[in-house]
Amino acid sequence: MLNKMRIAKFIANAGFCSRREAEKLIEDKIVKINNNLCLHPSDIVNENDTITVGKKIIKLYETVRLWKIYKPIKFICSTKDEHNRKKIFDLVPKEFPRMISIGRLDFMSEGLLLLTNNGDYSRNLELPIKGYERIYRVCIRGQIEKKYLEKINQGIKIDNMIYKKIKIKIDKSNKNYTWLIVKLREGKNREIRNICKYFSWQIVKLIRIQYGPYKLGDLKEGQIEEIKVIENA
């Protein structure tokens, strides 16, 4: 039985880009189905159709594959950048299949980033309703009073944005630095940085060490490793 789906979903599931980016490619009129211009992202295709984006033929991978990579600082998680900054995909060996990132880390953050060849799997892990826990180690310059951590754990409102479902504790500290363990479930944009800015805490390092069931482990900066997909994750 042929696996029928919308063209935008097909392109995303092939790991070429996100579904939203696929819709933009169709809008830009560079996607073809069996050498005919695709006019709408809801057009139905199957694995027997020939799908091209520009001159590249898009193939659907049946098996979901997953990699973890240690993103260094000063790398972006996009495939393109108008400022010509280094991209995380520059670290992926050329013989690897095309892949997309699951979530992102900002320019000055580092640590665990998940990559997959399947757009639907990426969307599933990113859905807020799933509530996957993201765990970070955060190094702050100086010492921190515990009363502020209690305030954050209770939920905090900053510039009309409510931050909740946060667990934060001190891992270790000395007179110069404090290392925090921060656990998030909402994953709002720059959540940790916005909270630290509110309390005038200077971030020295921000490292993601876990995303849902997947852990950074002993991976070194810039290293990539294929890992087993955990069922029902």
Q: How large a percentage of the chain has pLDDT more than 70?
A: 98
106 catalytically annotated: yes
The CA–CA distances, whole Å, from 61 to 13, 115, 116, 200 equal 7, 14, 11, 47
Q: Evaluate if residue 155 carries a pLDDT over 60.
A: yes
Distance CA 191, CA 188 (A): 5
- Residue intervals of the chain classified under CATH 3.10.290.10 are 5-58
pLDDT score recorded for residue 1? 47
Distance CA 111, CA 69 (A): 8
pLDDT score recorded for residue 208? 98
Instruction: Give, as one character, the DSSP assignment of residue 228.
Output: P
Mean pLDDT of the chain: 91
Q: Evaluate if residue 19 carries a pLDDT over 70.
A: yes
- Residue intervals of the chain classified under CATH 3.30.70.1560 are 133-211
pLDDT score recorded for residue 231? 77
Q: What angle do CA 134, 192, 175 make, to 5 degrees?
A: 110
Tell me the per-residue pLDDT of 157-184, one tens digit each, with 9 for 90 and over: 999 999 988 999 999 999 999 999 999 9
CATH number of 68-128+220-227: 3.30.70.580
**In terms of pLDDT, which residue wins out, 227 or 128?**
227
pLDDT score recorded for residue 16? 83
Tell me the per-residue pLDDT of 85-122, one tens digit each, with 9 for 90 and over: 999 999 999 888 888 899 999 999 999 999 998 888 88
- Residue intervals of the chain classified under CATH 3.30.70.580 are 68-128+220-227
pLDDT-based confidence at residue 129 (cuts at 50, 70, 90):
confident
pLDDT score recorded for residue 114? 97
CATH number of 5-58: 3.10.290.10
Tokens of 70: 């240690």
pLDDT score recorded for residue 20? 85
Q: Evaluate if residue 2 carries a pLDDT over 60.
A: no
pLDDT-based confidence at residue 135 (cuts at 50, 70, 90):
very high
pTM metric for this prediction = 0.78
Catalytic member of 106, 120, 171, 218: 106
- Domain 133-211 CATH assignment equals 3.30.70.1560: yes
Compute the average pLDDT of residues 65-89.
Answer: 93
